[in-house]
């Protein structure tokens, strides 16, 4: 008698928001696959659809609500999770048919909800061989989340309300995950959290054994150990630090960049430079020291790239405050800058601050800061023309009518998704995404580079 294999339930996923939420999605899907579920790439093939929401800004909430509505219209069986899960009543009021609503990084609750909506089939022929973790990024780069939550109380932010206070992962668990990712083919590790510089503060920087020696849960120790990993080709992986607050101990990681153990790149959310605005934001107001430190960092590691983000039109921001910010940016010469117009977020203390900036003034200031930063970027990228730089390939195209192949890659100064790219011509055959090659920079514009792979790669 023939025994039919049971039908395997399928789960679809819509993941919104920041890389930290993407890691949450990967963990949820990995757990579900271990429980016998298959993944669906479209609405039609899914028995249930998960929507991992973002709730940081009102615009992000609207995007999340739109995604929930689309999933309901296309599939009908929807479970909502993520940062906007804290607003379960509002979600249910708009979409009464959602099956369940859970908050950020509530993995067990999400899995339980899926089990109830589409019970797993755990027959004798299912999951006999363990499978690797699910990744939602390309094989050659991976996000490495080291902690959850944040201890800051910035007046414009509700992250602590959404994700709670700082909770750091054990250092040996983080390093074990990193080692596993690199062994599986990752060439670039992107270290993420809400506050990478504060890693381990909540645990008293607890020590754990790693390959026979104790290691502290501390950003500098973590960076040093990550620099000891080796890819399948025997080279150090690129290791980027994101969401780094400029605490004094950040200075200690710059020599690691100069030694080649850490990618010469820092993502620091400065948010503003004017002391009065920083005070209203409840941010550290030591912008002069930051300029001095930037100069020292560049003396130690000339190729260091610093990216940041700034808010314009914050309540109480005067024209003098904004001019101060522009002057500071001119002196700081940051490599990559993103800017945002202030908008009220439900629950943020900044909403009640006096001195609301008119929308037309926000628009004008946003245009000015982007113009300033584009000019700085164009000059810095132009200075790279003629240099040979290591590049990691993200996409390799098909031959055109002349047989030429183009590719898109990134230098060490560019993180995926948020920074610029280098566009390559006449790419040799056989190169795949994730390959690291040496490239001659031939041209540049305000945001990107253009070049060719040098012979010998």
**How many structural domains is the chain composed of?**
3
Look at residue 161 in the predicted model and tell me its pLDDT: 67
For residue 457, pLDDT beyond 80: no
Residue 136 included in any domain: no
Residue 130 included in any domain: no
DSSP state of 297: H
Are 10 and 47 in contact by the 8 Å Cβ rule? The answer is: yes
363 and 416 belong to one structural domain: no
> pLDDT category, 33, cuts 50, 70, 90?
confident
Which of 129-143, 272-286, 293-307 shows the highest mean pLDDT? 293-307
Look at residue 4 in the predicted model and tell me its pLDDT: 47
Burial tier of 439 (Cβ tally within 10 Å: 0-12, 13-18, 19+) = buried
59 and 166 belong to one structural domain: no
76 and 146 belong to one structural domain: no
Where among 382, 415, 440 does a domain terminate?
A: 382
What is d(CA 314, CA 355) in angstroms, rounded to the nearest whole number? 9
294 and 436 belong to one structural domain: no
Mean pLDDT across the chain, nearest whole number? 88
Look at residue 3 in the predicted model and tell me its pLDDT: 47
Note the pLDDT tens digit of each residue in 384-398.
999 999 999 999 988
446 and 375 belong to one structural domain: no
Which of 136-150, 344-358, 433-447 shows the highest mean pLDDT? 433-447
Beta bridge partners of 81: 52
> pLDDT category, 39, cuts 50, 70, 90?
confident
CATH code assigned at 248: 3.80.30.20
Where among 335, 355, 382 does a domain terminate?
A: 382
Residue 52, both tokens? 């991992």
Residue 291 included in any domain: yes
225 and 323 belong to one structural domain: yes
153 and 111 belong to one structural domain: no
Q: Are strands 436-444 and 449-453 parallel, antiparallel or unpaired?
A: antiparallel
Residue 122 included in any domain: no
340 and 417 belong to one structural domain: no
* Nearest Cα to Cα of residue 314 among 84, 151, 157, 152: 157
CA distances for 358 relative to 110, 352, 364, angstroms: 41, 15, 10
Determine if the pTM surpasses 0.75: yes
Give me the phi and psi of 14, to 5 degrees please.
Answer: -115, 115
99 and 228 belong to one structural domain: no
Residue 184 included in any domain: yes
Residue 235, both tokens? 């080279």
Percent of the chain scoring above 70 in pLDDT: 91
163 and 299 belong to one structural domain: yes
375 and 395 belong to one structural domain: no
What is d(CA 104, CA 36) in angstroms, rounded to the nearest whole number? 23
> pLDDT category, 429, cuts 50, 70, 90?
confident
Task: Check residues 112 and 354 and name the one with the higher pLDDT.
Answer: 112
Task: Check residues 197 and 59 and name the one with the higher pLDDT.
Answer: 197
Residue 135 included in any domain: no
| Structural domain that includes position 162 | 141-382
For residue 124, pLDDT beyond 60: no
Residue 417 included in any domain: yes
396 and 355 belong to one structural domain: no
Which contiguous run of DSSP H or E holds residue 101? strand 100-101
Note the pLDDT tens digit of each residue in 3-22.
444 578 889 989 887 887 88
């Amino acid at each position: 008698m023939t025994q039919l294999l049971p039908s395997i339930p399928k789960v679809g996923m819509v993941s919104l928001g920041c890389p930290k939420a993407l890691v949450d999605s990967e963990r949820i899907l990995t757990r579900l696959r271990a429980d016998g579920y298959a993944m669906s790439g479209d609405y039609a093939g899914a028995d249930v659809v998960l929507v991992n929401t973002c709730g940081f800004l009102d615009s992000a909430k609207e995007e999340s609500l739109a995604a929930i509505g689309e999933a309901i219209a296309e599939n009908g069986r929807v479970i909502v999770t993520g940062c906007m899960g804290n607003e379960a009543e509002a979600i249910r009021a708009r979409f009464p048919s959602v099956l369940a609503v859970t908050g950020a990084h509530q993995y067990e609750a999400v899995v339980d909800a899926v089990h109830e909506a589409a019970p797993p089939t755990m027959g004798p022929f299912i999951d006999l061989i363990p499978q690797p973790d699910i990744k939602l990024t390309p094989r050659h780069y991976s996000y490495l989340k080291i902690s959850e939550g944040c201890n800051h109380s910035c007046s414009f932010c509700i992250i602590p309300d959404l994700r709670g206070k700082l909770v750091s992962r054990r250092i040996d668990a983080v390093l074990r995950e990193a080692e596993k990712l690199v062994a599986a083919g990752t060439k670039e590790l992107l270290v993420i959290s809400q506050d990478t510089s504060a890693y381990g503060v909540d645990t008293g920087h607890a020590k754990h054994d790693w390959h026979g020696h104790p290691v502290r849960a501390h950003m500098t120790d973590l960076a040093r150990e990550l620099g000891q990993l080796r890819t399948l080709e025997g080279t150090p992986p690129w290791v980027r630090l994101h969401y780094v607050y400029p605490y004094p101990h950040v200075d200690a990681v710059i020599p690691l960049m100069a030694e080649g153990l850490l990618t010469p790149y820092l993502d620091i959310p400065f948010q503003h430079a004017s002391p009065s605005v920083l005070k209203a934001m409840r941010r550290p107001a030591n912008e002069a020291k930051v300029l001095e430190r930037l100069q020292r960092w560049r003396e130690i590691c000339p190729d260091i790239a610093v990216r940041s983000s700034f808010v314009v039109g914050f309540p109480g921001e005067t024209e003098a405050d904004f001019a101060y910010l522009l002057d500071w940016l001119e002196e700081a010469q940051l490599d990559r800058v993103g800017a945002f117009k202030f908008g009220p977020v439900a629950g943020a203390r900044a909403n009640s601050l006096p001195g609301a900036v008119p929308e037309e003034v926000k628009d004008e200031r946003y245009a000015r800061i982007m113009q300033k930063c584009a000019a700085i970027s164009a000059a810095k990228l132009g200075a790279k023309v003629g240099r040979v730089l290591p590049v990691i390939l993200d996409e390799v195209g098909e031959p055109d009518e002349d047989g030429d192949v183009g590719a898109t890659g990134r230098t060490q100064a560019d993180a995926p998704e948020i920074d610029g790219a280098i566009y390559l011509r006449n790419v040799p055959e056989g190169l795949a995404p994730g390959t690291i090659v040496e490239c001659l920079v031939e041209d540049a514009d305000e945001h990107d580079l253009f070049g060719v792979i040098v012979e010998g790669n």
